[in-house]
Chain A
Amino acid sequence: MTELPSIRVGPSRSPASGPQEDKLPSSEPSVSDPAEVEATHGPSVFRVENLFFYYGDHLALRDITLDIRPREITSLIGPSGCGKTTFIRCLNRLNDLIPGTRLEGRVEFDGESLYGPDVRAIELRRRIGMVFQKPNPFPKSIYENVALAPRMNRMKGNLDDVVEESLVRAALWDEVKDKLRASAFSLSGGQQQRLCIARAIAVRPEVILMDEPCSALDPVATFRIEELMEDLKNDYTIVIVTHNMQQAARVSDRTAFFTVDTSQGGRTGVMVEIGATSKIFTAPSDQRTEDYITGRFG
């Protein structure tokens, strides 16, 4: 079996727009650490600028500006309904599938507009993988779950090797190598979730988006996924939505806190701050973050 070639985030083109504004009005989301601002000059995988998102006439996200950096784990935290899922789905255009939705602002992926006219959905889904809250394997064999996408994408190389590499990488190989033809549903929830991760990395994406990937798992399975993320981070950029703040604190390099804002009528998701995880969890800049992570919220 050959080594899985290390996957790099594509050639670093310089972003089309200038470096991030370094002075933000105080009511705006803050970048917690001044050193952070410096560091954002490196190439970002995603660069989101002034994003507004609507479900019909309901404004679900208002004026979100943030960068996702390569080979880091960025976690998104915040109360239910603040738009974490909506936001992460903006990063792979999954919301396009929902009728009546509208996005304003700019989302750049790898230096180019994600919502540009010649972006192809299939290509996008290959480069940006997603893992959902509930493990959702196809009703097929373990092998087929992993092999399907590479086959459809007509990836070069031996399919058996790709399946094995992906399962090894997802820390599942040892548990399934003798029953690759068994149904994916014969696996436990934690194993199914690792299978979904194997499926996501089989097409060698650049980014893996995870929306509460551990919420249906027990602590042991959760720790396995967290370990896996730590390992995957060497090659992939990971964005994770989690309700488990300890998880965000354990695994992520940067944390963004979103909340529900009701000041302008309606319930709208806003980003309060983004910063180094250790900073956010020991000394956040914004009182709303403080109240939320210390449990004084609601």
Chain B
Amino acid sequence: MTKTRRLFHEELQDLTHDVARLGALVRQAIEAGTAAFLAGDLRDAEAVIVGDRAIDQLAHSVESRVSDLLARQQPMAADLRLLLSALRISYAMERMGDNMVNVVKGTRRLYPYLLEPPIQDVISRMHEQAVAQLDVAITAFVERDVNRATALEDMDDAMDHLQHELFRLLFHTHATDDAAIQTAVQVGLLGRYFERIADLTVTIGERVRYMVTGEFPFEEG
């Protein structure tokens, strides 16, 4: 193998590594953001918003390196699929980060109210579910594991159920004062953000499958 080609393959490895690192940053944001939201901690919420810039920067770095490698190396086959997947996956992760920013912004809107314990409990489980799915997505990507990637679709059903549960709880509250309505709106939105985050892990799973098998996700049934 030639030297330039070997360097190219090292760059591909770096890229894989950075996409995984991006996933770790997003995971951190989900953990910290949810904690801040549940605790009503404005300072921690702000830290998540600031931290999102690092996520954006890393995602943009991945994108510009992919574009550079495409132009200079004209990659083929598995290399090409890896680059295209890195692009889509890092974008999905960046979007997860954005959804987390939306979650923590809700902290300000609810302040100083805290949520009822049953609602807190569902949110906490949604966050666990999101983190679990993200972990599977990252592992699937790093280990090129089609089985894990495919499992994400089924895992995502759990998130849909949690969202239902959250909405049911919201409609059980009969208070109609402004604070209660604001709370219901924020919690409803929050459910939506978590659902998006979980959806994006399914997207990552599809991209991993494409990366490994070469079959486009949209070609299937």
Interface residues, chain A, CB within 8 Å of chain B?
A: 245-246, 249, 281-284, 289-290, 293-298
Q: Does B217 contact A (CB under 8 A)?
A: no
Q: State A283–B5 Cα separation when bound (angstroms).
A: 19
Q: Does B78 contact A (CB under 8 A)?
A: yes
Bitwise, B69-80 to A at CB < 8 A (1) or not (0) is: 000001111111
Q: Which residues of A contact B81 (CB under 8 A)?
A: 282-283
Residue A282 contacts which of B1, B9, B80 (CB distance < 8 angstroms)?
Answer: B80
Q: State A112–B74 Cα separation when bound (angstroms).
A: 41
**CB-defined A-B contacts under 8 Å, sample of 10:** A245-B74, A246-B74, A281-B77, A283-B214, A290-B78, A293-B77, A294-B78, A295-B9, A296-B1, A297-B1
Q: Which residues of A contact B80 (CB under 8 A)?
A: 281-282
A294-B79 CB under 8 A given contacts A282-B214, A283-B213, A283-B214: yes
Q: Which residues of A contact B213 (CB under 8 A)?
A: 283
Interface residues, chain B, CB within 8 Å of chain A?
A: 1-2, 5, 8-9, 74-81, 213-215
Among A249, A282, A294, residue most surrounded by chain B Cβ atoms (within 10 Å): A294
Q: State A92–B39 Cα separation when bound (angstroms).
A: 80
A-B contact count (CB 8 A): 39
Q: Which residues of B contact A297 (CB under 8 A)?
A: 1
Q: State A260–B79 Cα separation when bound (angstroms).
A: 23
* Contact indicator A295/B2 (Cβ below 8 Å): yes
Q: Which residues of B contact A246 (CB under 8 A)?
A: 74
* Contact indicator A294/B75 (Cβ below 8 Å): yes
A249-B76 CB under 8 A given contacts A283-B81, A283-B213: yes
Residue A294 contacts which of B2, B76, B215 (CB distance < 8 angstroms)?
Answer: B76
Q: State A293–B76 Cα separation when bound (angstroms).
A: 6
Q: Which residues of A contact B79 (CB under 8 A)?
A: 294
Q: State A297–B213 Cα separation when bound (angstroms).
A: 21
Q: Which residues of A contact B78 (CB under 8 A)?
A: 290, 294
Given contact pairs A294-B77, A295-B8, A297-B1, a sample of 6 additional A-B residue pairs in the complex whose CB atoms are under 8 Å apart: A281-B77, A281-B80, A282-B81, A295-B1, A296-B1, A296-B5
CB distance from B69 to the nearest CB of A (A): 12
Q: Which residues of B contact A281 (CB under 8 A)?
A: 76-77, 80
Q: Which residues of A contact B77 (CB under 8 A)?
A: 281-284, 289-290, 293-294
Q: State A249–B75 Cα separation when bound (angstroms).
A: 11
CB distance from A133 to the nearest CB of B (A): 22
**Nearest-neighbor residue (CB-CB) of A283 within chain B:** B214
Q: State A267–B145 Cα separation when bound (angstroms).
A: 37
**Nearest-neighbor residue (CB-CB) of B12 within chain A:** A294
